[in-house]
Chain A
Amino acid sequence: MTDKLTRRDFLKLAGAGAAATAILTGCGPASRYVVREPYTQMPEYTYNGQSTYYATTCRECPAGCGIVVRTHQGRAIKIEGNKSHLVNLGKTCARGQAALQGLYNPDRVQEPVRQNGRGSGDYTTLTWEDAVIVVKDALADNRPGEVAFLLGLAPDHLADLAAEITAALGAPSPIRYGAYGMFEARNTLAEAAGRVLGNRSLPVFDLANADVTFSFGANFLETWLSPVAYSRGYARMRRGTAGSRGHLVQFEPRQSQTASKADEWIACIPGTEGLLALALGRLVAESRGGALPEAFLDVDVVAIAAASGADEETLRRLAALLAGAEHPLVIPGGAALGLSNGLETAEAVLALNALLGNLGKTGGVSLTPELPVHAGNRRLPNTLVELADLTEKMKAGKVKVLFIHGVNPLFEFPAALDFAAALANVPLVISFASFPDETAAQSDFIFPDHTPLESWGYQFAAPAADRPVLSGSQPVVVPFYNTRATADVLLAAVQALGGDLATAIPYKDEVEFLQQSVLGLVTENGFFNAPEINTFWAQWQQFGGWWTADAALTTPLAASALTRSLRLPEAEFEGEGEFLLHVFPSPLMGDGTGANKPWLQETPDPMTTVMWNSWVEINPKTAEELGLEDDDVVRLVSPFGEIEASVYRYPAIRPDVIAMPFGQGHSAFGRYAAGRGSSPARLLPVKINGAGDLAFSAVKVRIEKTGKIRPLARNESRLGVYGEE
């Protein structure tokens, strides 16, 4: 022993040597049915004082990032990014980091319960055997047409299983809907891609390799589609490739976090984003000479400049920038698509991409091929039209049993949809919620699913990587409470029911369903190869999913992209108020599921630094005219409802627009969420755009003073300790 190695060093080294063997091996083969062992007989891969790491999928939003969870003696300690996962390459967002506070949330539903009277809060504990019988009877005692499944946004294994069960049963396909999809108008983007690019799916925008990017409302650094992947793309666009700094221009009425990182922010009038795309298209086409494409033929640049609030000189300068770029890219998204002309806006922007000639190219627009896993199943969420159909059926008493999983309709859906009344009309409502959310409180039974970190599963990652990614989930800890996987409950009920249904759905349990589902991948050219399913499964767990060995995006067929005539109808708005309402999902609260995690509540909002509350953003000049100061409580009134919130004077918003984040305003959902802030979902219209998505931006509101003051907890007011504020 050298004189430099002290006894303390020696002891530390003795421990560290053992650590190296324990990283990323996944659970052992016996872990299919996880059991909690006493410390005296720890599983052999667990050492006292050493951490074990498990790869799984973050389920905080539907992006499908890969994570590696550090566990220590059976407890999940820290979430880290999975470096080999192609969506996020080892990175995470704030929401992913705080996911542990969902697992260890003090307000979880801890066991299966029956509620004695909806909304009563009077629960009777059941056994899981009873719960399975309840589900079995619900399937047996009702006609298949009267059974409905309402699931969350993520295209995951449960969606595939529910689709298989409903198909075998003859019941309607599950409806998948959620606030993230609603505020991104995902079907609108997909429908536009179907019309312009010949493929109805969400395109991938190669931001990383673009040198000039125009974003029409897409808030890709916050919540849009796959924020971590696009943040990485943003960083590479700025510095990564060839040392040249990419240029970003953002068109939207309120300067979002994305716009604050842009080189230019064009505060256009809401509803004119598509017009601007057409005008830019025409100017680019003119500068190139030759015949103008049909799509941009009937475009009056001067009139558009006047209508949009962007002056003509700026438009000409921006068009020259696009025309001169080597890798130009334009992205449609966000609130711009959530308007009555949202579909046409998306079409115009995608057609502009076709004109710029970036389809399938580096720094351009591409498509993600489908994987041979339940191929043909719908990966996009349902539209508002389809959701409204279900709501109408419920109101008409045509739905006798409703299964709800992964979504909180009474919080997330626009109140004007009146889902609450529809729900009250369903004789049997079964919620699989892990948390006592608003919808669970109005259910007859709560059969709590494991939280994601205790669960098996897979999820199709939102298109953002350079190839299709099927992200895998495995339990990183033993389930903390007496919860059960919803897939296992459904499969047990189907087996108990017997007959043709049990024959059609032969899976013994969730893991068998998962293994059968991914069987088609074993023979594909993946980044790992395995001769049979068990080896495949071990590597699947180790790496946290499966993706192809090589980049595998396809080029859109844009045969008719430029030959179709594009016309942009004027955006229509509901209500007589003087302010357009701009609602955006909070980057921290997301679809509202962030609100029960105390550290997300205490993480400051990026733009306002507000914590623990919701607020309404008003241009300071407008506020002055109205006699409003920061923290004054105002009432926002739309034709559909009214809410109160504190004023935040936001310098970077159009004077005729007010903005509000979505995610707070829970009336249930645990101690950290309930009774905090207010939800703009009460103000939203039930107006649809051309793709059947909600035109959530199409509403005007009125502001009324209340005379009350409620100070917002803000991080920024503290910084100049001896300064103002």
Chain B
Amino acid sequence: MAESKIPVFSAKWSEEEKGKWGLVVDQDLCTGCQACVTACAMENNIPFVGEEDAAYGRAMHWIRLERFWEGEYPQVKATPFQAVMCQQCGSAPCEPVCPVFASVHSQNEQLNIQVYNRCVGTRYCANNCPYVARTFNWRDYDRPEPLNNQLNPDVTVRRRGIMEKCTFCVQRIRKTEDAAKSEGRDVYDGEVEPACVQACPAEALVFGRIDDPESAVSKRMQSGRAVKLLEELGTQPRVTYLKGGD
């Protein structure tokens, strides 16, 4: 009997299992410049929503920089900037709640992907994401002519009622893998650069294979400063943070 083609959504990723792609965010190097935020928007055809919707918290940033204050003047300190994007959880809380399998795990890249043409906009996934990493298209946002000329043909343009989030620039992963395959070689470390990593002036973002112990990402993950966000929830994030400030 042929295997069922319907994906099974029990949390079956085990603790030991390593995903392929991972991101390291060095908070000591991050200068908070927002280049990643803008680069992400430019690469991924993210619409701008305007002042009013932004004030309602509907801005569509797939990546944001968190900054908190500690203490009072003059002993006041801004906490190190913390770039938060989809953590590409190994055991993702957004996946089991989707009634239409729009939020699913890709077998190839072991990424948490969003299938736009399945999404019916229940927003259950966003409610269940502990990182507040998902953004929802509350409207068909206007992109007046000729701004549409800069749309990236590699990335689907989403419309009203669709949930979206960081994809680790999966289009770049696929493109690089294809190019490597056509040259009969493996993808080398550092070859795949998501838009945020590519732009980052301080090189605070590093991307690569976390199942390759020799990769720059794996080496940084061994740092004593390495932490994961809300690790206690058991989400097994693919993003590692290197604590900053000392």
Contact residues of A with B, CB < 8 Å?
9, 12-13, 15-17, 19-20, 72, 75-81, 88, 90-98, 100-101, 103-106, 221-222, 227-228, 231-232, 234-235, 238-239, 245, 255, 257-258, 260-261, 265, 267, 480, 587-588, 598-604, 606-607, 609, 611-613, 619-621, 651-655, 676, 711-719, 721
Chain A residues within an 8 Å CB radius of B183: 20
Q: Is B182 an interface residue (CB 8 A)?
A: yes
Chain B, 36-80, CB within 8 A of any chain A CB:
37-39, 41-43, 48-52, 54-55, 57, 59, 61, 64-67, 69, 72-74, 76-78, 80
**The one of B34, B42, B77 that contacts A100, using a Cβ cutoff of 8 Å:** B42
Q: Which residues of the other chain, A, contact B178 by a CB distance below 8 angstroms?
A: 12-13, 15-16
Specify the chain A residue showing the minimal Cβ separation from B57: A718
Question: Provided the pairs A93-B35, A105-B147 are in contact, do residues A716 and B199 lie with their beta carbons within 8 angstroms?
Answer: no
> In the complex, are the beta carbons of B73 and A267 less than 8 A apart?
yes
CB < 8 Å neighbour of B55 from A258, A620, A711 = A711
B26, B65, B78, B151 pick with most chain A CB within 10 angstroms: B78
Per the bound structure, the CA–CA distance linking A598 and B147 in Å amounts to: 10
Task: Give Cα distance in the complex from A52 to B201, angstroms.
Answer: 24
Instruction: Rank and list the top 9 A-B pairs by shortest CB-CB distance, nearest first.
Output: A713-B55, A612-B51, A718-B57, A231-B201, A235-B202, A260-B78, A94-B38, A97-B38, A606-B32
Q: State the Cβ distance, A663 to closest chain B Cβ, in Å.
A: 14
A652 CA / B49 CA spacing, docked (Å) = 30
Residues of B near A604 (CB, < 8 A) are 34, 37, 61, 64-65
Point out the residue from B49, B73, B179, B195 that lies within 8 Å of A621, measured CB to CB. B73
The answer to whether B41 and A599 have CB atoms under 8 Å apart is yes
Q: Would B38 and A257 count as touching, CB distance under 8 A?
A: no
Partner of A651, one of B41, B48, B73: B73
- Measured in the bound complex, the distance between the Cα atoms of B148 and A716 in whole Å is 29
Categorize the interface residue count of chain B. Answer: 35 or more
Nearest residue, chain B, Cβ from A655:
B73
B4 on the A face (CB < 8 A) = no
Q: Judge whether B23 is part of the interface by a CB distance below 8 angstroms.
A: no
A interface majority secondary structure: mixed
- Asked if B156 lies at the interface with its beta carbon under 8 angstroms from chain A, I say no
Q: How far is the CA of A654 from the CA of B57 in the complex (A)?
A: 30
- Rounded to whole angstroms, the CA-CA distance of A227 and B182 in the bound complex is 39
Are B64 and A81 in contact, with the CB atoms below 8 A?
Answer: no
Residues of A within 8 A of B128 (CB): none
How close is B104's CB to chain A, nearest CB, in angstroms? 19
User: Which of B34, B72, B144, B195: most chain A CB closer than 10 A?
Assistant: B34
| Highest count of chain A CB atoms <10 Å: which of B31, B34, B49 | B31
Bound Cα distance from A228 to B37, whole angstroms = 15
Report the separation of the CA atoms of residues A588 and B34 in the bound assembly, to the nearest whole angstrom: 9
Contact between A231 and B76, CB atoms less than 8 A apart = no
CB-based contact B203/A606 at 8 Å: no
In the complex, are the beta carbons of B35 and A92 less than 8 A apart? Answer: yes
List chain B residues, Cβ under 8 A from A258.
31
Contact among A19, A88, A106, A715 with B64 in the assembled complex (CB-CB below 8 Å): A715
Contacts of A222 in B (CB 8 A): 33
The answer to whether B42 and A78 touch across the interface, beta carbons within 8 angstroms, is yes
